[in-house]
Chain A
Amino acid sequence: MAAPNYDVLIIGSGASGGIAAFTLTKKGIKCLMLDAGPPIDFERNRVSRPVWELPYRGLGKPGRLEHVFQANEYNANQWVDEQQVPYTHDPNEPFNWVRVRFVGGKSLFWSRMSFRFSDYEFKGKDHDGFGDNWPVSLADLAPYYDQVEPIFRVRGRKEGLKQLPDGNFIEDTTSWSPAVQKFIAEAGKRDIPVTKIRSSLGRGPLASSLNLLLPDAMATGNLTIVPNAVVREITVDKNTGRVNGANFLDRHSRREMHAKAKVVVLGASCLESTRILLNSGLANSSGMLGHYLHDQFYITQSVQAVIPEVRDKTAPAGYASGAGYIPRFRNLQTRERDFLRGYAFDFNAGGTPDPKFFPLYGKALDEALETHRGSGFTGTCMGEVLPRFENHVRINKDVTDAWGIPVLHFQVRYGANELNMAKDAINTMAELCRACGWEVLARNNQPLPPGYSIHELGTCRMGDNPRTSVLNKWNQSWDIKNLFVVDGSSFVSGGSQNPTMTILALSMRASEYLAEQMRKGDI
């Protein structure tokens, strides 16, 4: 019996592929989903283990996941093995490509921060003249944000900020601790807004494609999922020039297979989708494929402050606790001298500063840690990275992965705009802490290597012009009508907000468009 010719082949099962399947299958469209990883079984794949029984006492096997700063000895096996799927870069220009290959993708492990983009991102060029506008606006995407937020059960508080549009929230009714109220008051004096964290609650232990999207898609009877399917390339009908499926390898046996479909939707993650297209030699008449790679620069523990009232035991219990978010506030009404765009912070109060920040060792350090327990305040800085043509990935034909597929070579670096922005961010946060009467123990204005945020974006950018973009405003290839790319690679710019809600909204919008085109017989 010949294998079916599916209506749509979806490559990737994370947030973008998951919402595509969720949307298309409900409209009666038969979908085949391929994922390079296995199905996950939290009960079987994880065991409880004391740290001293780990071979490296929790410090991890040296050199195993050199680029994955998020890895530790407990979770090392959840990340893609860098020896199995390598990539290359100049040693002086590292890129931290952090990957997951499971059914459900990175949505199994994401931070759940759930924000909308604003027209400061979608129409950034109109605002400051840099780069390109997106071919869509907030008004175009708002109806889709409205739909995906309830699915992921986003909790937040409506703030009425133009740069951080409100969403379809489960109302956050929690109060601020006194220390954070003090911080908000000082920020307010400087016109710096502070909001509650906006976060996906999900259901049960997960806020993932695995539990929120794929089960509904499967229940329609229109979804077939094949795990352990490592896609080598998308295939093309030579007579029509249209894509007609994909060649893939079984992860275990390396057996080569071909899946047939009338339409291909790529949602394999920004850089894996780009890699598949580059290895397929498709969708690149513009020459833009792989270019404009950007993310958000991150500085964790950017400022470490100490709240003296807690340290000195003069404050009541619960004085310093809780987390909050500072959305972008730079370059909105005014223009900064030495950088474009802006940055955000998430912060938390009530932790204990990392031992590395104390200029002590031995017994004196232990005593200081005990004294400072619960008195910390720190924030992670997340800054917009300007999309630039020269920051790109290309295929390195000299290196292949464990399945013989050529790997990516990265050429990415942050520029003066990012570094100047980082300095301003840290100066501002340190000033706020001091204004609160807190002691600044340490400050750090060095961004982590590009890629650390796991928010890589932009390498299949959308646009209004087929000469300067890979996709049109429907996430559809300019070159090949029945090829769509629905993950973060379609972004034109990244803002300082976490991108997952925007990926979901874009993918749902593209999927509805695709379904309508298929209904009309235009695809």
Chain B
Amino acid sequence: MKRRRFIQALAAAPAAPVLLAQQSQSSPAAAADNAEPAALELSVADEAADPAPRFFSARQFATLRRLCDLIVPGAQGSPGALEAHVPEFLDFLIGDSPIDRQQLWLTGLDALEHESQTRFRKPFADSDAAQADALLAPLRQPWTSDTPADPVARLLIAAKQDVRAAAFNSFERNLAASGGKIRRTGGGLYWLPLE
């Protein structure tokens, strides 16, 4: 799906009025052409290129994809985590995170894969619904404030939160929720960096 973003015309840039003024001085006839230039239609990177995952290994990434699909599955009119490119986003997010968060995900994905191989002799990525549900048992435990010692449980708790947030905040999910006519204004108030 196309994702386009319209920005103000170049005339809004500080240098443009100066240039236009210089042109009008050098050529009086140019005054008639002194209309604002047409707005350029710019795109964000996501619509022109694919994410290039680089943090997780191929096996970890496959495990992550299956996990994302289980936590936020797609439905009719409601893109799931895979359609929202959550695995690719998390590869970027976790790769940009402090080491302790990276370790939680790396060891957790490896442990989940190991458990799948041990119990079902197949990669987690290939697990069927019943097998996957068995491996995700920690997510069916009552919530506790204690951090679990088990690396799979730690991963699953973090993944439940991050995968949901990344999916629900995605362009794809919001586009679907708005019936394909997404409003490009609105949203939260973002604090610009101070000078």
Contacts and interface: CB of A to CB of B under 8 A. Distances in A.
Contacts of A75: 191
A50 B191 contact: no
A47 B184 CA distance: 13
B73 interface: yes
Contacts of A445: 145
A363 B133 CA distance: 13
B185 interface: yes
Given A58-B165, A359-B141, A77 B193 contact: yes
Interface in B118-164: 136, 139-146, 157, 160-162, 164
A45 interface: yes
A48 B185 contact: yes
Interface stretch (B21-29, B30-38, B96-104, B108-116): B96-104
Interface string B41-59: 0001000000000000000
B192 A359 contact: no
Interface residues of A, number: 41
A57 B169 contact: yes
A74 B184 CA distance: 16
Contacts of B142: 359, 442
B70 A48 contact: no
Nearest to A46: B189
A53 B174 CA distance: 11
A446 interface: yes
A361 B188 contact: no
Nearest to A355: B164
A46 B174 contact: no
Given A57-B89, A360-B140, A48 B98 contact: no
Contacts of B146: 446
A356 B184 contact: no
Contact of B143 (A57, A252, A442): A442
A66 B98 contact: yes
B141 A363 contact: no
Contact of B192 (A56, A57, A77): A77
A46 B191 contact: yes
A151 interface: no
A441 B141 CA distance: 12
A52 B169 contact: yes
Contacts of B101: 62
A419 to B, nearest CB: 12
Contacts of B184: 50
A51 B187 contact: yes
A357 interface: yes
Contact of B139 (A47, A357, A360): A360
A125 B166 CA distance: 51
A445 B72 CA distance: 30
A59 interface: yes
B171 A49 contact: no
A10 B102 CA distance: 45
B190 interface: yes
A49 B188 contact: yes
B187 A62 contact: no
A59 B192 contact: no
Considering residues A45, A51, A54, A74, which has the most beta carbons from chain B within 10 angstroms of its beta carbon?
A51
Interface string B66-105: 0000111101000000000000010001101110010000
A62 B143 contact: no
A366 to B, nearest CB: 9
A282 to B, nearest CB: 31
B165 A57 contact: yes
Given A47-B189, A77-B193, A359-B143, A58 B169 contact: yes
B71 to A, nearest CB: 5
B178 to A, nearest CB: 10
Given A59-B166, A359-B142, A76 B98 contact: no
A355 B165 CA distance: 11
A47 B185 CA distance: 10
A58 B165 CA distance: 8
Contacts of B13: none
A51 B192 contact: no
Considering residues B71, B145, B146, which has the most beta carbons from chain A within 10 angstroms of its beta carbon?
B145
A27 interface: no
A77 B195 CA distance: 11
B162 A59 contact: yes
A362 interface: yes
B194 A45 contact: yes
Contacts of A77: 191-194
Nearest to B190: A49
Given A356-B143, A359-B140, A76 B160 contact: no
Given A46-B189, A51-B169, A362 B70 contact: yes
A76 B174 CA distance: 23
B72 A362 contact: yes
Given A61-B96, A356-B160, A361 B190 contact: no
A486 B146 CA distance: 40
Contacts of B71: 361-362
A96 B72 CA distance: 33
B98 A63 contact: yes
A81 B186 CA distance: 27
A56 B187 CA distance: 15
A220 interface: no
Given A49-B188, A49-B189, A363-B73, 11 more contacts: A48-B189, A50-B174, A50-B186, A51-B187, A53-B187, A59-B165, A74-B191, A75-B191, A76-B191, A359-B139, A446-B145
30 contacts: A38-B194, A46-B189, A47-B189, A48-B185, A49-B187, A50-B186, A50-B187, A51-B187, A56-B93, A58-B165, A59-B93, A62-B97, A62-B101, A66-B98, A74-B189, A74-B190, A74-B191, A76-B191, A252-B195, A355-B160, A355-B161, A356-B161, A359-B141, A359-B143, A360-B139, A360-B140, A361-B71, A361-B136, A442-B144, A446-B146
Interface of A: 38, 44-54, 56-59, 61-63, 66, 73-78, 252, 355-363, 441-442, 444-446
Give me the 7 closest cross-chain CB pairs, A-B, nearest first. Answer: A62-B97, A50-B187, A77-B191, A52-B171, A49-B190, A444-B145, A57-B169
